[in-house]
Copies of this chain bind each other. A is one copy, B any other.
Amino acid sequence: MKKCVVLLSGGLDSSTMCALATSEGREVHALTINYNQRNVWELNAAREVARVNHVAEHLVFPIDLTLFGGSALTDASVELDKDVSLEDIGKSIPSSYVPARNTIFLSLALGFAETRDASEIWLGVNQLDYSGYPDCRPEYIEAYKKMAKLATKAGVEGRPLEIRTPLLLLSKSEIISLGLSLGVDYSITRTCYDLDENGLSCGRCEACLLRKKGFEEAGAPDPTPYRN
Spell out A's residues near B (CB within 8 Å). 59, 61-65, 67-70, 93, 97-104, 106-108, 110-112, 114-115, 134-135, 137, 139-140, 143-144, 146-153, 155-156
Give the number of copies in the complex: 2
Q: Which residues of B contact A152 (CB under 8 A)?
A: 99-100, 134-135
- Please list 6 pairs of residues, one from A and one from B, whose beta carbons are closer than 8 Å in the complex, sorted by A's number: A70-B111, A99-B115, A104-B110, A134-B150, A134-B151, A140-B150
Q: Is the CB of A61 within 8 A of B67?
A: yes
Q: Which residues of B contact A143 (CB under 8 A)?
A: 143, 146-147, 149-150
Q: Is the CB of A99 within 8 A of B70?
A: no
Q: Determine how close the nearest CB of chain B comes to the CB of A131; give it in whole angstroms.
A: 11
Known A137-B150, A151-B134; judge A104-B108 contact (CB<8 A): yes
Q: Is the CB of B155 within 8 A of A65?
A: no
Nearest-CB residue, chain B, relative to A115: B70
Known A134-B155, A150-B139; judge A107-B114 contact (CB<8 A): no
Q: Is the CB of A103 within 8 A of B68?
A: no
Nearest-CB residue, chain B, relative to A144: B147
